[in-house]
Chain A
Amino acid sequence: MTAPLHEPTAEAAPSAAEEAAVAGAETKAVQGRSLGRIAWERLKRDKLALTGGIVVLFLIVVAVLAPLITSLYGQDPDVYNESMIDPLFGTPKGALGGIGGDHWLGVEPVNGRDIFARIVHGARISLLVGFLSALVAVVLGTILGVLAGFFGGWVDAVVSRVMDGLLAFPQLLFIIALVSVMPDSMLGLSGTGVRLLMMILVIGFFGWPYIGRVVRGQTLSMREREYVEAARSLGAGRFYILFKELLPNLVAPIIVYTTMMIPTNILTEAALSFLGVGVKPPTSSWGQMLSSAIDYYKSDPMYMVIPGVAIFITVLAFNLFGDGVRDALDPKGSR
C-alpha cells in the first residue's frame, strides 16, 4: 500500500480493488482459489445482496418473457377496458384503482388499460435502457481508460480532461436538449425506437467517464507491476500485455462500477419519461406512468404508487446487489 493518505476516494476505490485483485492473485498461488471464487463465497454469505441479486434476476426474466407473461395472464397492455372506468370522473371503478381478479394491479384511469401488463412491459424499457446504456459506458470507458492509462502522455491528458468535463456537466439537461431536437424518425427507426436508441446512447455516453476513470487508474498502476515488466522483458508486445495481463485484472472494478451504474441509469430513464422526453405512448414505461398518475394522485393513488414502487424496488435491488458485489470483490469496502 503505497498510495498517499490524502488520496481522494475516487482514487482510493481502484487502489483498494486492486489490492483485492493482488490479494486474489496471491491466494491463488497459495490456495488455488480464484478471485471469482472467493468473491462468490463472500457473496453467498451476504444474504441481502443475494436477495437483491435474485430480485434482479427475476426482473430480467420478467422483462424478457413479458409478452408470454401477459398472454398467460390474459390482458394486453394496450387494450382499452372502458367498462372498468367511471365515466364521470374517468377513474377506475371499484376500490384501489380497480384491483381485482381480472386486473391484479388495477387499471389505468380514462382508458382502463391493465396496469399489471403495463408494469411488466415497462420493465423491459427500464432494464433495456439500464443495461444497454451501461454496456455502452463500459465499452467506451474500458477502451478509453486503458488507452489513457497504458499510453499516458498526451493521450492520457486529453482523455482525462474530457472525463472531468463530462462528469461535471449537467447531463440531464444535455439529454433533454438532444432528445428534443431529434426528429421522430431516423436510421429506419421511428417513434419509440428512436427515443430508446437516443436514451441508450446518450446515457451511456455520459456514463463512460465513471468506468474510464477507474480503468485508467488501474491500468496506470498495473503498468508498473512486476508481472507486466516481466512479460515485457520476455519480449511480449504492448498489445499482448494489454490484453493478456491487464484486462483480466480490470474485470473486478468494472463489474463493481457497472452494477452501481445500472440503477442510476434506470432512474435517469424514468426521469426522462417523466419529463415527457422518454419513450412514446402507447409503449409503457414506469416514469411515464408516474407522470400521468400525477393527475390522479388523490382520486386514484394506487396508480401513482404502483410504478413508484416498481422503480423503488428495482433500484433498491440493484443497489443492494451492487453493494454486495463491491464488498465481495473489495473487502475493504470503501465507497
Chain B
Amino acid sequence: MTTQRTSGRRKQAAAAAAVVAALLTTAACGGGGDDSSGGGSKSSAAAGFDAANNKVAQASEAKKGGTLKFASSQDADSWDTTRGYYGFMWNFSRYYSRQLVTNKVEPGATGAEVTPDLATGLAEVSDDGKTYTYTLRDDVTWEDGKPITSKDVKYGIERVWAQDVLSGGPTYLKEVLDPKGEYQGPYKDKDKDKLGLKVIETPDDKTIVFKLPQANSDFESMLALTSASPVRQDKDTKSKYGLRPFSSGPYKFESYSPGKDLVLVRNTEWKQDSDPVRKAYPDKITIKFFSNANDLDARLIAGDYDMDLAQTGMSPQGRTTALQEHKGNLDNPISGYIRYASFPQNVKPFDNIHCRKAVIYGADHVSLQTARGGPVAGGDIGTNMLPPAVPGSEGQKYDPYDIAGANKNGNVEKAKEELKACGKPNGFKTTIAVRNNKPVEVATAESMQASLKKVGIDVEISQYDGAQYASVIGSPSNVEKKGYGIIIMGWGPDFPSVQGYGLPLWHSDYILDSANNNFALIKDKKIDGLFADYVNTLDDEGKAKIATEINHKVMEGGYYLPFVFEKFLNWRGSRLANVYTTDAYSGMYDFVNLGLKSTK
C-alpha cells in the first residue's frame, strides 16, 4: 500500500519538475521568437534612430485631435505648479499652466532659451539689471473664462514663500527676490488681497514689475520655471492644489487618481491666438501609471502607449528588445545629469587633496560606466563637472585627470603616488554612502569598492534609505559622524546655466545643516567670487566664460569623481509626430507640442 503510493509520488515529483522545465522553455522561446506580433505591425512609420535627438521628427505629420497616451512607472512629486520638482512634471505642466515667459518649443540647445508666453514680450530690464517689467497679453484666460491678471501671476509666485505648506518645489525666486526671508507667504499675509510681497508690483491688471534687491542675470530663466505659474487665489486649495490645478493652458484636468491615472481634456476657454507657444494637437492626454516597469516597456513597444512620461530611459529588458527590433523608435539624447562621487572634506583623510586625487586615479572609469548602463544607456565617461547642455561646458575636451584617456581603467601607480603625498602610502579605510533605492548607484559603489581595493583603499558600502537623503548625507555633521568619505549622487540643472546647476553644489553659502548639497563642503573664495561676477554679467559670452572658469576651479580641487555625462535611451511611439528633445528639460522630449499622425 505505502509502496504503491510512494512510487506514484516519485513519478509525480519527476513530472512536476518536468512541467516546470517545459514552462520555462516555452517562456524563453515564446519570448524570443516573436517579432511580428503587436508592435511590428503598428510601428511601420518610425522615424529612425536618433531622428528626434536635437532635431524635429515628422513635424508635418501632426494632426489635430486624438488621444495622446503617456505611461509611467512613477507619478509626479506633485502636479501643483509650486511644488513639483521632477523634470517630467515641469515638462508636462505646460499643458495646463502658462508662465510670463517659457522655454522655446524648439529642439536641442535653442529649446533652453526663453520666449514670451503670457507676456507680450521678454522683460524690459532696467540698466542696473534690477527691475523687470512685463505686460500681459489680451485674451489670456483661466479655464472658467475669467482673464488671467498680473495679480494672479503675483499670487502664484508668492506661494513659493509658503514652504511649510507647499514644500517640494524650487525656491530660486524666493532666494533672489527676498534673500533675507522677510515675507511670510500668502497664507500668513495680513494684506487683504494676500498680495503683501513688496518686491513685486502690479500697478494694473496687465502690468507686473519685479524689483530685485540685487541683479541676477538668470532671473528670467527662473521666471520660466513652472513654479512661476499664476494661481488664482479663489481656486487655491493649498496643500491639495496638486490634485486639481486650475488650468491656464490649453488642457485642463478631467480626472486624477495618484499612482493610477490622469486625464487632461481640452480647455475650451483657451484661445490659440493668445498663445504663441502651444499648438495643442491632441484632444485628450492621458497618463497611466504602472507598477511593473517591464510591463510598461512591453506595452510601449507593442504600441499601446506613445511615450514614457518619466523619460529616464527604458528598463534593461525593454532597452534590449527595442535596440534589437525597433531601433527606429529610439533616441539617445544626453541628459543634463552628471553622475558622480563627492568627497566630504570633513571626513579624514579627504581633507587632504592628494587622498581625494588617489581615489580619482584609482577608480576604474570604464567599469563605472558599465555599471551605469554602458556607453549607450549609461552615457559617456564623465571628465568634469559641467553638464554638456550648460553654456560654458567643454564636454570631454576638458579632462584634467585623463579620466576618459590614459587613466580610464584606473591608474594604480598614480594613485599610489598621490597616496604617498597624502601621507597614507599603505592606503586607508573609508565608507561609501549610497541610496538603497537606486540599484544602478549601488552598482557603481560596488564597482568603486572593487577597483579601489587594488590601490589599498578599503571601502565599506553603506546603503541608506533614499527617501531620507536630506537628513543622512544632507547633514554634514551626520556625514562626519558616520565617516562617509565618499558620497554617490547625481545632479541635473534646474535651468541650463552654471547657476542653475552648480550654485547649490559649490557655493560656500549653500553649506547647510540639513538638505545640504555641497557635500564636499567647498569653501573657495575664488569660486564664490566667480558666482558673484556671474549674476552681474549680462552678456551670454561672458556668462559662458565664467561658467568654464568655475568648472575648472572645481575640478582642480579634486572634490569630485564624475562617472558619466548621462545619456538616456528613450522610446518614441510610432504614432507620434513633431517629436524632439530639448535641453530645457534635460534632454527629454518636449511634451507640449507632441501630435499624433492619425487621430484614430
**Same complex:** yes
Q: List the interface of chain A (C-beta within 8 A of B).
A: 42, 45-49, 51-52, 78-80, 82, 85, 87-91, 109-111, 184, 190-191, 280-282, 292, 294-299, 301, 305, 308-309, 312-313, 316, 320, 323, 327, 331
Contact of A89 among B7, B28, B320, B450 (CB under 8 A): B320
Considering only residues 203-245 of chain B, those with a C-beta below 8 Å from chain A are none
User: B426: CB under 8 A from chain A?
Assistant: no
Shortest Cβ distance from residue A334 to the other chain B in the assembled complex, whole angstroms: 14
Contact of A88 among B16, B317, B376, B447 (CB under 8 A): B376
Contacts of B366 on A, CB cut-off 8 Å?
Answer: 82
Among B2, B31, B366, which residue has the most Cβ atoms of chain A within 10 A? B2
Q: Are A109 and B446 in contact (CB under 8 A)?
A: no
Contacts of B27 on A, CB cut-off 8 Å?
Answer: 297, 301
Instruction: Please judge, given known A-B contacts A80-B367, A298-B321, A299-B317, whether A87 and B9 are in contact too, CB under 8 Å.
Output: no
Contacts of A91 on B, CB cut-off 8 Å?
Answer: 316, 320
Between A and B, 8 residue pairs with Cβ closer than 8 Å are A52-B13, A88-B376, A90-B316, A90-B373, A292-B439, A298-B317, A309-B20, A312-B20
Please classify the interface of chain B as helix (H, G, I), strand (E, B), loop, or mixed, using the class held by over half of its residues: helix
User: Cα distance A253–B20 when bound, in Å?
Assistant: 32
User: Number of residue pairs across A and B with beta carbons under 8 Å?
Assistant: 117
Q: Are B32 and A110 in contact (CB under 8 A)?
A: no
Q: Are B375 and A87 in contact (CB under 8 A)?
A: yes
Contacts of A316 on B, CB cut-off 8 Å?
Answer: 13, 16-17
Which stretch from B355-363, B394-402, B457-465 is at the chain A interface? B457-465
Contact of B2 among A46, A184, A282 (CB under 8 A): A46
Q: Are A298 and B32 in contact (CB under 8 A)?
A: yes
User: B315: CB under 8 A from chain A?
Assistant: yes
Q: Are A305 and B28 in contact (CB under 8 A)?
A: yes
Contacts of A82 on B, CB cut-off 8 Å?
Answer: 366-367, 370
Contact code string B5-20 (vs A, CB < 8 Å = 1, else 0)? 0110110010011001
Among A47, A85, A88, A190, which residue has the most Cβ atoms of chain B within 10 A? A88
The residue in chain A whose Cβ has the minimal distance to the Cβ of B10 is A48
User: B477: CB under 8 A from chain A?
Assistant: no
Contacts of A46 on B, CB cut-off 8 Å?
Answer: 2, 6
Shortest Cβ distance from residue B469 to the other chain A in the assembled complex, whole angstroms: 13
Q: Are A184 and B463 in contact (CB under 8 A)?
A: yes
Number of interface residues of B (CB under 8 A): 45
User: Cα distance A45–B10 when bound, in Å?
Assistant: 12
Q: Are A87 and B370 in contact (CB under 8 A)?
A: yes
Contacts of B294 on A, CB cut-off 8 Å?
Answer: 294-295, 297
User: Cα distance A296–B293 when bound, in Å?
Assistant: 12
Q: Are A299 and B9 in contact (CB under 8 A)?
A: no
The residue in chain B whose Cβ has the minimal distance to the Cβ of A87 is B374
User: B3: CB under 8 A from chain A?
Assistant: yes
User: Cα distance A100–B366 when bound, in Å?
Assistant: 25
Contact of B323 among A45, A89, A312 (CB under 8 A): A89
Instruction: Please judge, given known A-B contacts A298-B32, A298-B321, whether A184 and B465 are in contact too, CB under 8 Å.
Output: yes
Shortest Cβ distance from residue B475 to the other chain A in the assembled complex, whole angstroms: 15
User: Cα distance A45–B463 when bound, in Å?
Assistant: 51
User: Cα distance A295–B440 when bound, in Å?
Assistant: 13
Contacts of B9 on A, CB cut-off 8 Å?
Answer: 48, 320, 323
Shortest Cβ distance from residue B473 to the other chain A in the assembled complex, whole angstroms: 13
Contacts of B443 on A, CB cut-off 8 Å?
Answer: 110-111
Q: Are A301 and B461 in contact (CB under 8 A)?
A: no
Q: Are A280 and B463 in contact (CB under 8 A)?
A: yes
Q: Are A80 and B463 in contact (CB under 8 A)?
A: no
User: Cα distance A331–B2 when bound, in Å?
Assistant: 9
Shortest Cβ distance from residue B448 to the other chain A in the assembled complex, whole angstroms: 11
Q: Are B2 and A109 in contact (CB under 8 A)?
A: no
Q: Are A42 and B13 in contact (CB under 8 A)?
A: no
The residue in chain A whose Cβ has the minimal distance to the Cβ of B447 is A80
Contacts of A331 on B, CB cut-off 8 Å?
Answer: 2
The residue in chain A whose Cβ has the minimal distance to the Cβ of B316 is A295
Contacts of B439 on A, CB cut-off 8 Å?
Answer: 281, 292
Q: Are B316 and A299 in contact (CB under 8 A)?
A: yes
| CB-CB nearest 5 A-B residue pairs | A299-B320, A298-B31, A301-B28, A87-B374, A295-B316
